[in-house]
Structure 1
Amino acid sequence: MKPETYSTVCDLIRKHSQALAGRDIEQSETLSDLGIDSLEQLSLVVDVENCFDVSIDDEELAEVRTVKDLAELVDRHRGKG
């Protein structure tokens, strides 16, 4: 996982939760631990897709548990282009 991908994903997560503003986000934290519910997760993924110009399908999204999972998924998609 590229550090810049992780950093940008964290920024996007913070955008979706005021409680996380200014807080460090660990790679191993789950989205639910961060207060991102399933509806907010869909909105987050749309932001991630738009930011990185990637498309994440539902099957892949179902496998995402942690912040690291999401950042690695983005990097895999960016590598395909």
Structure 2
Amino acid sequence: MTGPSTHDTLIALLRSHSPELRDGTAEPRPDNELTALGIDSLELLSLAADMEEAFDIDIDNAALGSAKTIADLLAILEPVQRQGAK
């Protein structure tokens, strides 16, 4: 049995950091803006720290700074997704 996918793990992390997603009724979409989900710059740093721990990666500060949507976060995790596909 395999563990959760990169996408599923990211969504779980987003739910724990986003007041808009926390109750589980809203379904996050890749085009959701992080600010619309209640994730400000400070919360984004906390989310990034959790992502680094969950995926055992280092996130580039420039990439994090330019992340505006869930799709942007998924793009940061693309190397993890490719590695899992091997």
TM-score of Structure 1 vs Structure 2, range by shorter chain: 0.7 to 0.9
Q: TM-score, normalised by structure 2?
A: 0.78
TM superposition shift of 1:50: 0.3
8 Å contact from structure 2 (residues 10, 51) kept in 1: yes
Which 4+ stretches in 1 moved above 3 angstroms?
A: none
Q: TM-score, normalised by structure 1?
A: 0.82
Q: How far apart in 1 are the matches of 2:63 and 2:71? A: 14
Identity, in percent, stands at: 39
Q: How far apart in 2 are the matches of 1:69 and 1:32? A: 13
Residue identity matched to 2:28: I
- After superposition, the C-alpha distances for 1:13-43 in whole angstroms (9 at most, x for unaligned) are 1101343121210110011110101101100
8 Å contact from structure 2 (residues 19, 37) kept in 1: no
Query: RMSD of the TM alignment (CA)?
Result: 1.8
User: How many equivalent pairs are there?
Assistant: 77
Q: Larger relative contact order (C-alpha < 8 A, sep ≥ 6)? A: 1
Q: Where does structure 2 lack aligned partners over 5 or more consecutive residues?
A: none
